[in-house]
Structure 1
Amino acid sequence: MKLSTLVFRSMRKNIKHYFLYFFALIFSTTLYFSFLTISTNDSVTLLKNSNVKAGAAFSVGSIILLIIVVLFVFYANQLFMKRRSKEIGLYQMIGMPKSTISWMILVENIILWIIAIATGIALGFFFSRLFTMAFLKVIKSEQLVTLYFSPEALWKTIVVFAIVLVVIMLQTIWIISRSKLLDLFHAESKAEQKIKKISFFKLVIGLFGIVLIVYGYYRSTVLFKISDNVSMNDMFISMGVILGTVIIGTFLVFRYSVAFIMNLIRSSKKGHLRLGDVLAVTPIMHRMKSSSLSLSLITILTGLALGILSLGYIAYYGAESTANQSSPYDFIILNQNEKFEQSLKKEEIEFTKYEFTPLTVQVDTRKLLKNTVPKDSEFNTSFENLVIPYSQAKKVIPDLELSNNEAYLSGYSQVMASLLPLKADEEINVDVHNLQKKLIVKEIAQKSIVPSMLTYGSYSIIVPDHVFDQLKVQKDIRTATIWKSYTGYNIHPEDVIKVQKIYDQTTNNGEFNSKHASTNIFSKNQNLNMQIEALGLVIFIAGFIGCAFLLATGSILYFKQMSEAEEEKASFTTLRKIGFTEQEIMKGIILKQIFSFGLPLLIGVLHSYFAVKSGWMFFGSELTAPLFITISIYVALYSIFAVFTTLYYKKIVKQAL
């Protein structure tokens, strides 16, 4: 028989096994090619409102995606080779050299890869349009999307997967060359490491893993507190400690803690095991040693994917709130530019006007701190603030009331609240040469009346008019104040686009100059559009990579459970012969799937929650809703793999008798 005939007969015979491998290759190629196609599409990379370089962001995303794809394909190939172990053993028994076997499988691989890559590229070509439409929808762009073919994406995909094929071929040759005939016939059916007794040392290690995770969670809650981190080096060290303890702790939990808990459950039965225990508890405990690394990896990847997706969606979800915080008025004029207002009147455009004359004043706010701060960080509690008179602020906040010795803090953002927690009803001190003023802070509010471009992300202080009058006669304060005045204009939403053109023409695209500085001020609508484009790009790439993580981890678990189902088929046959029904067997299998899919997901969700909770305030103004939405969607999609796995088990159980 010719070798070519044997190759095609083998491929036809192994079509069931090839399905998993073929799916992995098509899925990986489709993802990678469509992502590269999108990254070379000018309608995506040329953002109108944002200065973010979309091409660079897609390049980074493509590297991360490639790493996920390569690891996924490697795992699929390893599983594929395991399922063909008996066939390879038979070839060796009839005297076929390992080199010939390797060559035959390599030819099969080449044929399979050519078909899979061609199919993946074709699917990627059509899906790229769908993904592009989704991206433009996210950034609220109304561009028309047509089918777009990228020669650059084509040759990059072919080159990358050709290199991966070479590495896969080397992996296959290495597996075959190191294989032993007896091992090949037992590779698919041999039991995993069986744990008869958990030693005290392993118990301590398992408990230590839980302690490491809890400690990592605790460190994440104080990561950005100045009282705990006095420098950037301290913060980076804390991040490294958190990452290390959580990863190591996760592995130890799966390696020792889970097996110990399962052993306790089994021991508590005192030999009276139910069918559910036999089909769920015992297999989990026996396989935990070999599964600990893959389950740990899946858990970490799940936490990473959820963390990235949640932070991206938090930023996108709060884009409008962030724009309002940074620009509380539709348009802002610095140092009284009369051309803008004259143009509005000429065009008969109605507007509401708020005028301010801020002062830059050194204010000591140490007594407002909720927690003590190390001396190295005291510079953060006494700095220059913009001070606004009460009469001007009341036009924006009508219900504001201040007595002669009171002050009001405005624009206290979530970031400030996390880094420097403050409390009201405490004293602040203004000490400028011969002027000393002590004021009681009546309220600390998030609402901003001063653009964040002028406060540099800090808060502004509203003081009584008589205090403001005393401050403005101080020469040092007048010198320190860069912008002597600013005016906020609110326009009817229907006129915003028209007024934007007037604003650009009369202010040289929002450019303002003073004696000591120059700055560009964007309108609220511009700020919002820039944030939506930049954050839409981030969330799209994060979503794409997150979906790759989801499909890869879900598929790995699915493939692994399919393999275990094949191994346990003989056990199902025995159980059916002694009288157990299909429904009784399925109850135990469902419990096993809840554990196999649920535990990595649960721990991964906890990892992502504590990671996101530690620094979400840097990305947006709302945590609960976007985090809940992200986790819910991820869990729902992830559960699909558990359902498919259960259905596959059901099929195996039906075939068992």
Structure 2
Amino acid sequence: MTLFNLAKKNIKGNINNYLLYFFSMVVCIIIFYTFNSLLYIPEIQNTDPYLESTMSQTSFILIGFIIVFIGYSNSFFTKKRKKEVGLYSLLGVKKKSIGRMLFFENIIIGAITLLTGLVLGIILSRLSTMLLLKLLGAPIEVSFSIPLKAILTTTLIFTIIIIFTSVQSYFLIYRFRLIELFHAEKKGEKVPKASLLSAGLAFVLLTSSYWLMLNGMAMLAIPLVVIGTYLLFRSLTVYLLKRAQKKKTKYYHGINIIGTSHLLYRVRGNALMLTIIALLITGALPYIHAAFSEYAMTEKDARDSAPFSYIYLSKDEAIDKQINRIIANDKNHPIIEQLDIPIISLKGTTTAPFEDNNDLSINLMAEQTYHQVKKTLDLGDIPPLSGEQAIAFKYYFIHQPIANFKGHDIEIPLPPGKQTLTLKKLEKKSVRLTDGEEPLYLIVDDKMFSEMAEQINPITYKAYEVENEKTTKETSETLQKLSDENMQLLTYYDKYTTIKALTGMKMFIVSSLALVLLAATGSIIYFKQISEAHADRNRYEILRKIGVSKKEVRSTIAKQTLFVFILPLLIGILNGGMLLLSIFVAYDMDLIGNTLYFLYAVAAYGTIYLIYYGLTITSYNRIVNN
């Protein structure tokens, strides 16, 4: 009991050092519990059939982040406590007793953290569920529940982690000799030599990786990014700091000599940490961007997939009248426009460089019909057609410049013989009337269409545009019950809710993982800097004794801490930005809009990093400047 009380007293004495660790761990536990609790909430299960597999995969990723974070945090506390442990041993306390005391400390911290995280997780679970349902586009009506399985799973996982780290703490006294415990903080690093060759290699590797990304070889670029980023922190930073030392006027101004020397002295130890954090940011930013941009573009994506409120293939006049009556009776969503779209569906061959040019699926559309649907389908104007001229529309699997398709013939077998059409132009746009594989749409003049319709009976799609189509749930469900597979019914509401559910789930998961990643990486930098602050306390005491003001010390701390925080963030933003740019170019995406979403992700990330930066400066200053 005495050791247990001593452990509690030690925790109280080191409460300031444990606070950020405690906060970060609580955030991890809340998010982990939230993900597990969602699996047992009926409202969520009914909304997304893929929830269980998605959440399970995410939970494994979370556990990986948490293990890395706890392992690094524990190593920080271990290093910080070495001198204290050595003092206990010097005073005659048995190693077994010291080990038990450290074990109890870790168990107490872990238990408090776990209990706090679970309580807050239970309190916030209803809010998290409502947020997810909102993102999924489902009704925000959810009963409050406390899933016992989620509590047990969270408790089990974190208990195992806590016990493992506690055992590590127990064996601390056995892993080091007494002299090593007392001099742990005095172990320094040799000042590395500046290597212009390595610095140049870092620049070459990163620029080469960007070139590969922009030329569609992102997988080949990844190893270069990893190596280049490490060399950047390992060599280029040394080179830049050495250059700063040579600028005598600035180097000897105030106590810049202290800050620059400190960074140079620690750069070898920081290189791997900064590389890992930069690479994590590199990977995280594209995912955050994707989640935000996809969710923001839900309406546009739904419109691209289902341009009409309702469209189906007409099979029976009686069914057509019944569908028209159902849609017309929905007074909350009055009909804006109703169109009949005749299509001649057939096969053909062509000399044009389409992938399936020997077995081409073709939908023929009359020029007049095209002008009726072009606004809804967002297709734009086309030049007038005559005779055997045709304009092709196809978006996917076009691997050559569209100019290469012009002038090629398309042969269409008809009952009396073959009909040859000449491509006047290819438009890399999609004509979306139904789900499934995209056929080649050919627009021909009205006379040609009429002649071919006498030989092959057209099929007719009936399309409706209504007001407030995002809320046509009841009518869409009624039509789905009435339809069969042959009708190829496609409704805007179904596409909108499906896409919103998928993007909403992605946004929830990515945001949660990003929060854990931010908490982990921010805390790692924080603990690393605070560890160095304790090691450098005596040096700063000497500075104050020779007349350096507290303001100058704080300014130096702010500069050297900014260097450590800003470098991985900037490199991560650069790497992630180039990766996203290569995706924008490869898939012909909206560059301005997607860049804006990327800047939103950077702003969110940077804001939270700024908070950690402020906390680090405050704690560092309190340790060395009081």
1:340/1:502 contact within 8 Å kept: no
Aligned match of 2:378: none
Once the two structures are TM-superposed, the CA of residue 73 in structure 1 deviates from its matched residue by 0.9
Give yes or no for the alignment of 1:187 onto 2:215. Answer: no
Aligned match of 1:234: none
Sort the Cα spacing of 1:505 and 1:173 in 2 relative to 1 into closer, same or farther, 3 A: closer
Once the two structures are TM-superposed, the CA of residue 194 in structure 1 deviates from its matched residue by 2.1
Aligned match of 1:491: 466
Gaps of at least 5 residues in structure 1 are: 224-237, 368-376, 514-519
Once the two structures are TM-superposed, the CA of residue 276 in structure 1 deviates from its matched residue by 5.6
Deviation digits for residues 480-528 of structure 1 (CA, Å, limit 9, x no counterpart) = x9x93322221233783453244224314xx226xxxxxx533111100
1:325/1:452 contact within 8 Å kept: no
- Report the 3-state secondary structure (helix = DSSP H, G, I; strand = E; otherwise coil) of the residue aligned with 1:188: helix
Aligned match of 1:101: 98
Once the two structures are TM-superposed, the CA of residue 16 in structure 1 deviates from its matched residue by 3.5
1:317/1:620 contact within 8 Å kept: no
1:276/1:589 contact within 8 Å kept: no
1:354/1:396 contact within 8 Å kept: no
Q: Structure 1: which amino acid aligns with 2:384?
A: L
2:366/2:446 contact within 8 Å kept: yes
1:366/1:382 contact within 8 Å kept: no
Find the aligned partners of 1:132 and 1:317 in 2 and give their Cα distance. Answer: 20
Find the aligned partners of 2:608 and 2:440 in 1 and give their Cα distance. Answer: 42
Once the two structures are TM-superposed, the CA of residue 38 in structure 1 deviates from its matched residue by 2.4
1:159 to 132, 156, 159: 156
Aligned match of 1:596: 564
Sort the Cα spacing of 1:521 and 1:562 in 2 relative to 1 into closer, same or farther, 3 A: farther
- Report the 3-state secondary structure (helix = DSSP H, G, I; strand = E; otherwise coil) of the residue aligned with 1:396: helix
Aligned match of 1:630: 601
1:3/1:104 contact within 8 Å kept: yes
Aligned match of 2:423: 439
Aligned match of 1:249: 228
1:102/1:176 contact within 8 Å kept: yes
Gaps of at least 5 residues in structure 2 are: 330-334, 376-380
1:136 to 105, 122, 133: 133
Once the two structures are TM-superposed, the CA of residue 345 in structure 1 deviates from its matched residue by 4.7
- Report the 3-state secondary structure (helix = DSSP H, G, I; strand = E; otherwise coil) of the residue aligned with 2:365: strand
Give yes or no for the alignment of 1:512 onto 2:492. Answer: no
Task: Decide which moves more: 346-355 or 99-108.
Answer: 346-355
Find the aligned partners of 1:91 and 1:423 in 2 and give their Cα distance. Answer: 81
Once the two structures are TM-superposed, the CA of residue 651 in structure 1 deviates from its matched residue by 3.2
Sort the Cα spacing of 1:597 and 1:11 in 2 relative to 1 into closer, same or farther, 3 A: closer
Find the aligned partners of 1:602 and 1:254 in 2 and give their Cα distance. Answer: 12
Give yes or no for the alignment of 1:387 onto 2:371. Answer: no
- Report the 3-state secondary structure (helix = DSSP H, G, I; strand = E; otherwise coil) of the residue aligned with 1:485: strand
Sort the Cα spacing of 1:604 and 1:45 in 2 relative to 1 into closer, same or farther, 3 A: farther
Sort the Cα spacing of 1:111 and 1:389 in 2 relative to 1 into closer, same or farther, 3 A: same
Find the aligned partners of 1:221 and 1:272 in 2 and give their Cα distance. Answer: 40
Under a length normalisation based on structure 2, what TM-score does the superposition of the two structures give?
A: 0.87
Cα RMSD (Å): 3.2
Find the aligned partners of 2:7 and 2:172 in 1 and give their Cα distance. Answer: 19
Find the aligned partners of 2:483 and 2:348 in 1 and give their Cα distance. Answer: 31
2:58/2:509 contact within 8 Å kept: yes
Sort the Cα spacing of 1:528 and 1:339 in 2 relative to 1 into closer, same or farther, 3 A: farther
Deviation digits for residues 110-156 of structure 1 (CA, Å, limit 9, x no counterpart) = 22222221111111111222222221221222222343211111111
Once the two structures are TM-superposed, the CA of residue 78 in structure 1 deviates from its matched residue by 0.7
Aligned match of 1:647: 618
2:432 to 438, 450, 454: 450
Sort the Cα spacing of 1:429 and 1:588 in 2 relative to 1 into closer, same or farther, 3 A: farther
Sort the Cα spacing of 1:506 and 1:35 in 2 relative to 1 into closer, same or farther, 3 A: closer
1:411/1:450 contact within 8 Å kept: no
1:325/1:411 contact within 8 Å kept: no
1:40/1:55 contact within 8 Å kept: no
Once the two structures are TM-superposed, the CA of residue 543 in structure 1 deviates from its matched residue by 1.0
Q: Structure 1: which amino acid aligns with 2:435?
A: M
Aligned match of 2:81: 84
Sort the Cα spacing of 1:428 and 1:572 in 2 relative to 1 into closer, same or farther, 3 A: farther
1:316/1:532 contact within 8 Å kept: yes
Deviation digits for residues 61-100 of structure 1 (CA, Å, limit 9, x no counterpart) = 1111111111111111111111111111112212334333
Task: Decide which moves more: 149-158 or 639-648.
Answer: 639-648
Sort the Cα spacing of 1:532 and 1:14 in 2 relative to 1 into closer, same or farther, 3 A: same
2:391/2:443 contact within 8 Å kept: yes
1:426 to 406, 415, 435: 406
Aligned match of 2:33: 33
1:503 to 479, 493, 510: 479
Task: Decide which moves more: 384-393 or 292-301.
Answer: 384-393
Aligned match of 1:396: 373
Once the two structures are TM-superposed, the CA of residue 393 in structure 1 deviates from its matched residue by 0.6
Find the aligned partners of 1:243 and 1:98 in 2 and give their Cα distance. Answer: 47
Task: Decide which moves more: 621-630 or 385-394.
Answer: 621-630
How many aligned residue pairs are there? 605
Once the two structures are TM-superposed, the CA of residue 286 in structure 1 deviates from its matched residue by 1.6
Q: Structure 2: which amino acid aligns with 1:282?
A: S
